[in-house]
Structure 1
Amino acid sequence: MVDRKITGNNLMKKCLWAACRLAYSIVDGNLPIDYKTRIDYKIGDVEDNSYQRAGFVGDVYSFSGGVENINAGLVGISKSGIIISFRGTNGNDTEIGSFLDWLNNFLAVPVSFSPYGKGSVHMGFFNSVQSIQDLLIRKTLDLVSEVKKNNIPPVIYITGHSKGGAMAAIMAKILQKYVQNRIIVYTFGAPRAGDNEFRKDYRITHYRYESFLDIVSHLSLSRQELELIPRMGILYEILSPCLYFLLMHRWEQGYVSINQEKFMEDFPGIPTIIQKKNLIPSVQSSR
């Protein structure tokens, strides 16, 4: 049964932030055996368990996909509805996995979001979602049917930190094609996922949290800065497909943010090294 007491904005922020923390523990598509009880978050004398803090009840189902399983997400029933959470760029990956994850983040070429919606989205983040969306949607539909047995139309909450936040925004729009449930999105330190047409067509309740000095959310590469990248040697060669489109075809619209940002001092419970590795220099315009 849905617990209406924990569906307020501030409490849901804490619950969904815990779901983001839990997503970082996915390895090769699997959560740790003891994910329901282990202490996975400690600040000072405060110890916590992300599964319990998120309000999950019963099993949580996790998935991964892409080369070296660089994309990961989870879904489960909680006291507030159904929660889908996407993992950000994982600082605990193998060297090859981390490199591939970063390379995917750099694939900032805008691609059509059809047939799911209007506008264009970041190719790298879209590819990440597509690598696990079939399994994730199938399990989400199963859980929706399970909760409906109690005559409760569950709200579907979708969340993610950094890269996972961009995936959450894209997945929310895709999921609208499959369910009639209300969808609410919470993102934390997320880069921009789509252009202005994508944003105008979005029409989903979306709470966007940022850390004040987080470059992922605030960096906006100017055209002049983009034009300096060809001087970066091998990095330019790796990124040349993206840069060719952006520079030669003069894609002026750029990526834009969804809704007004809300600020958090930091993102507790995720190691600093992961937060620093999540500095994704996607090509973006100003808000």
Structure 2
Amino acid sequence: MRFMRIGPAGAERPVLFDGTDHFDLSGVTADIDGAFLATDPVGRVRAAGPLPRVDVTGQRVGAPVARPGAVLCIGQNYAAHAAESGAEPPAEPILFFKSPNTVVGPYDDVLVPRGSTRTDWEVELAVVIGTRARYLDSPADALTHVAGYAVTNDVSERDFQFADPGGQWGKGKSCETFNPLGPWLVTPDEVGDPQRLRLRSWVNDEPRQDSSTADMIFDVAYLLWHLSQYLVLEPGDVVNTGTPQGVALSGRFPYLAAGDTMTVEIDGLGRQHNRLAPA
């Protein structure tokens, strides 16, 4: 199943997309949030019977998950990206956080921060947690805690991340609008193996990244198991799993500026398109 949220920011309504038509989920849940995701969302939708069709033409598409409690991010999880960043591949996952209010819709404007000179793009696979996970016994237990997968863009300001604040990643990652998410939250039964997904990005329609989640250093199951040894993953939390090579930090491409566009996509999970605007 593919879950969506449609409508103005702060007033989205839950929608099911079957690949052709959209269906109103308001009779099943008030929102696509942690409470809904923790209570067998696929089973609840199936038990609800026929759903009313809804016309979403011209309406805003919001992030497919209502404001998450946490956005956890993995750094340098593709060896080639670590290399273009000037680092050795990590021996264990690098964890940082983004403010949850960075999450915006897949077609919303992304705001270039005041004083920014090095705003960058990062296509990533997002994993959304469905059931609470703490001290998992092994990676083999991890994927049962996944509600679904989505396209995410871990937008970054590299000076804020590395230079001016002295290496405090959160300052370069938590700027306003810096995490477009969606358009869909796709359930695990439809995705299959999360390590066999092609992910790509473009800037101003010019290709930038083209890789596969098969190239991750630490796969999704390992990441969730690893994180659960240090913190509690709650329903609705979002885990950004890292980006492949091909970002501006590599020195091969210019950084973003107001007026530019970013497009990112992952096979089966949809495509985002965002315009850059001044904050």
TM-score tier, shorter chain, comes to under 0.3
Question: Which structure carries more relative contact order (alpha carbon 8 Å, separation 6+)?
Answer: 2
Structure-2-length-normalised TM-score: 0.24
- Which protein has the bigger helix share? 1
